[in-house]
Structure 1
Amino acid sequence: MLTTDELADPVALTRALVDISSVSGDEENIAGQVEAALNLPHLSVARSGNSVMARTNLGRASRVVLAGHLDTVPHHDNWPSRTEDGVMHGCGTSDMKSGTAIALHLAATLTEPVHDVTYFFYDCEEVEAERNGLNRIAQENPEWLAGDFAVLLEPTYGVVEAGCQGTMRVRVTTHGKRAHSARSWLGVNAIHAMGELLRRLDAYEARTVLIDGCEYREGLNAVLINGGVAGNVIPDRCEVTVNYRFAPDRSEAEALVHVKEVFDGFDVELSDSAPGALPGLEQPAVKDFLALAGAEPRAKLGWTDVARFSALGVPAVNFGPGDPNLAHKQDEHVEIQKIIDGAAVLRDWLAGVNG
């Protein structure tokens, strides 16, 4: 079980959490250890499956949420952890057990925060959305996630990344007529018919949108193409998957309307979609946090679970010590100083230290 000494030190706690194997779907052990560590006089604790929630109930004027996922991608000869030259290596060090460790450390050691705090630790973030613990709790126990502001401790290398892009994938299909390639004039080539769509994509000018001082860059790109029958057959079908990353000022419905306008005349089918999240940087608690974080916030160019908080009416940012570019890599690692600095920022903010 996690020790008092480990809970008192976010670096030692990061190491301890990394050394508990918790590949998605196998979080029972780590969830049990986190739950046990949170059974403290100043916290009320609840558990659902392998997601654990703890909260203070001090009657403060505002409530903030600190959230982190417990799972990792499968190991790739990078477990357990090792530390050398001020760097901790291992699966989950960056994404996101260093951030989760900071939240757990604060939950265990900060007894009189100036905001009431909900600490939420969840399972299955690295797999399909229907298994995601935050998604499940948002549907089954949304009161667990209620607050005025949330910090998701995803890796950002110590910079506040506000909101997130929305993401959408569509399948665009062209149809033709099969024929022997030796007598191609008897058929209609569906792959050739896709040329116009690819020209539109190549010429597409993506928006750059400024929201709360954060610059969101959009993108519309072909990511997969499938077509052809055999080396001597004119294909009668071609399918291109297109990914649209859109700024959070657009809803999913508005994003789909835009995509269909771009591909007017083509057969377009929505395959999956997730909304973006507005930055929400005007909340007083957010401004205090940004002052302590130091660097100017930037837009999150990607999708994260902050969108689930946004859908519940809770503005949220991403902030964690790990480098997002190292997530899921065999050489995943985190700089120990980043853990120390991130823990200090969040402790000062929750303790009411002025930035």
Structure 2
Amino acid sequence: MSPHDTVLEPTGDLLALLRALCDLPSVSGSEAAIADAVEAALAPYPHLEVLRDGDAVVARTSLGRAARVIVAGHLDTVPIAGNVPTTLVGTGDDAQVWGRGTVDMKGGVAIQVALAAALTAPTRDVTWVFYDNEEVDAALSGLGRIVRNHPDWLVADFAVLGEPTNAGLEGGCNGTLRVEVRVPGVAAHSARSWMGTNAVHGAGEVLRRLTAYAATDVEVEGLVYREGMNAVAIRGGVAGNVIPDECVVTVNYRFAPSRSVDEAIAHVRELFDGFEVTVTDASGGARPGLDAPAAADFAAAVLTFTGGAPAPKFGWTDVARFAELGIPAVNFGPGDPLLAHKDDEHCAVRQLHLCHDALRSWLTT
């Protein structure tokens, strides 16, 4: 069967729905089939208005409730690493489902699809958002495209992003910044290397500064965010007998939401003073915002199910995009975020049902 023929059963078994979503490959840039499947699954329900923009799908109620909330999740995954189709280990709520996307974040998407179909009369109007291209550069984001093309689709009082949180509540998120640090050199034949300047060797100073960099913990509104500065790629050289005349180190800086993007850029430029620094991608973080009434109400409701206390989100998520729109937002979904993007990605079935039941209770009481 072609991926475009996949049929989702939103009112069937939640675990089966998750596995169907994960077994439908949707690496960033190739989300058409899964978007088609989600749209086809929700279109028959009369209580939903289903909208489409590219490979993003929006389904919303219009019941005239006093408040409207967004429940959102991305459809894409990082590249598959031999971990599709999914496998199930164990039985019952002690089981774990293994495979790409089980954590990041088709568990959250499965819950969205199931509840969108089932909740014909929620106590709040709900806009269910399924979008593409979250795992790549911010400029490609399907959610960003909706902001530009259909801002009226994202009018709401509060938003929940189903990113993996170990079934806990995570507030805000770190910002993320990628830069290219260029090290110049002078090309020469490698047999006469003294006639050139080796840019790859010169990159050692960039790496030394990164190695010496001390990550800091920053408290923001009672939550402690951990920053990080790391080389994530390096390139240089044109041939096996040529001294490289340029080396480029790509650096990713994860910064606490107390910093603006401009402040983060200034910090990176200061660290690499003396080198050419080019910003290639930047997204600001989001402060926790848990003191907003809607966020406090949500926290009280879901923590009744899950226990624990709110925690910071160390990775960047689209709560930052909602914050830019003036919409308080939190992260809440099944799966251990430490397993996101790993070859052994897997999600506890217990968490899948726990998050489903918590969201259902909040939306029906």
Quick one: which of 68, 71, 74 aligns to 1:66?
A: 71
Give the SS at the match of 1:245: strand
Q: How many residues align?
A: 350
Change in CA separation of 1:266 and 1:100 when aligned onto 2, cut-off 3 Å: same
- Cα displacement (A) at 1:338: 0.9
Q: Identify the range of structure 1 (330-339 vs 22-31) with the bigger mean alpha-carbon deviation.
A: 22-31
**SS, match of residue 249 in structure 2:** strand
Residue equivalent to 1:170 = 179
**Partner of 2:164: helix, strand, or coil?**
coil
Q: CA deviation at 1:339?
A: 0.8
Residues of 2 paired with 1:179 and 1:50: CA distance?
49
SS at match of 1:58: coil
Partner of 2:320: 307
TM-score w.r.t. structure 1 length?
0.86
Instruction: Tell me the distance in 1 between the aligned counterparts of 2:14 and 2:54.
Output: 25
Q: What letter is aligned with 2:130?
A: F
Identity level (%): 58
Select which of 21, 40, 48 maps to 1:17: 21
- State the partner residue of 1:33: 37
Q: Which amino acid aligns with 1:7?
A: T
- Of residues 48, 53, 76, the one that matches 2:58 is 53
1:58-92 per-position Cα deviation (integer Å, ceiling 9, x unaligned): 33332211112223345444333343312223332
State whether structure 2 residue 148 is matched by structure 1 residue 144: no
Q: Can you list the C-alpha shifts for 1:11-54, whole angstroms capped at 9, x where unaligned?
A: 33223333444444443443333223323232222122222111
Deviation at 1:240, TM superposition (A): 2.6
Please say if residues 225 and 240 of structure 1, whose CA atoms lie closer than 8 Å, have aligned partners that are also in contact.
Answer: yes
Q: Is the 8 A contact 1:288 1:349 kept in 2?
A: no
> In 2, are the aligned partners of 1:54 and 1:118 still within 8 Å (CA)?
yes
Look up the equivalent residue of 2:8 and give its one-letter code.
L
**Unmatched 5+ stretches in structure 1:** none
Give the residue type in structure 2 aligned to 1:319.
Answer: F
- Answer yes or no: is the 8 Å Cα contact 1:9–1:105 preserved in 2: no
Q: Could you tell me how far apart the structure 2 residues matched to 1:152 and 1:341 are?
A: 16
Q: Does 1:214 align with 2:218?
A: no
Change (3 A) 1:88 1:173: closer
Which piece of structure 1 moves more, 24-33 or 248-257?
Answer: 24-33
CA distance in 1, matches of 2:117, 2:53: 20
Q: Which residue of 2 aligns with 1:153?
A: 162
**Who is 2:48 aligned against?**
43
Structure 1 pair 73/266, CA: closer, same or farther in 2 (3 Å)? closer
Shift of 1:231: 7.2
- Classify 1:232/1:213 alpha carbon distance in 2 versus 1 (closer, same or farther; 3 Å): same
Which residues of structure 2 form unaligned runs of 5+? 1-6
Q: Choose 329-338 or 252-261, whichever is displaced more.
A: 329-338
Q: CA–CA distance in 1 between the matches of 2:330 and 2:55? A: 24
The equivalent of 1:89 in structure 2 is: 98
- The residue aligned with 2:8 is 2
TM-score by length of 2: 0.84
CA RMSD of aligned residues (A): 2.8
Match of 1:107 in 2: 116
- Between the aligned partners of 1:230 and 1:90, the Cα distance in structure 2 is 39
CA distance in 1, matches of 2:58, 2:336: 26
Verify: 1:204 aligned to 2:217, yes or no.
no
